[in-house]
């Protein structure tokens, strides 16, 4: 079990989440969720990288609240965000990440 927990924490750190976010992840995600994310880690990395490159600074919070969106096929994930004006979208996401569920 210890090795499994270490593996989980390592992939979380690789996603760019700091120690505070790791505590939140452990409180929010159950082992089934970790397994789903682990099974789709390339997709999750790609989608997080897209948000980071887009300029969304609170991508960690977006991932914590809406991890299931990060499991979407990357081209479909990008299409969701490309429908909107980039600067406006970034400003709205940074003001209230909860708008992600309405995109």
Q: What is the rounded CA–CA span in Å between residue 63 and residue 61?
A: 5
Indicate the SS3 state at residue 90: helix
User: What mean pLDDT is predicted for residues 33-58?
Assistant: 89
User: What mean pLDDT is predicted for residues 56-84?
Assistant: 93
Q: What is the rounded CA–CA span in Å between residue 4 and residue 6?
A: 5
Q: What is the pLDDT of residues 22-33, one digit of tens each?
A: 777 777 788 888
Percentage helix, strand, coil, to 5, in the chain? 80, 0, 20
Mean pLDDT of the chain: 84
Q: What is the rounded CA–CA span in Å between residue 51 and residue 33?
A: 21
pLDDT at 98: 93
Confidence of residue 78 (pLDDT cuts 50, 70, 90): very high
């Amino acid at each position: 079990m210890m090795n499994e927990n270490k593996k989980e924490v390592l992939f979380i750190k690789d996603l760019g989440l700091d120690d505070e976010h790791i505590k939140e992840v452990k409180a929010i995600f159950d082992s089934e969720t970790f397994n789903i994310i682990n099974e789709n880690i390339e997709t999750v990395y790609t989608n997080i990288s897209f948000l980071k490159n887009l300029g969304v600074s609170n991508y960690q919070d977006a991932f914590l609240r809406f991890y299931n969106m990060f499991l979407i096929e990357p081209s479909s994930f990008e299409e969701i965000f490309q429908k909107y004006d980039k600067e406006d979208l970034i400003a709205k996401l940074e003001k209230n990440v909860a708008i992600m569920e309405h995109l």
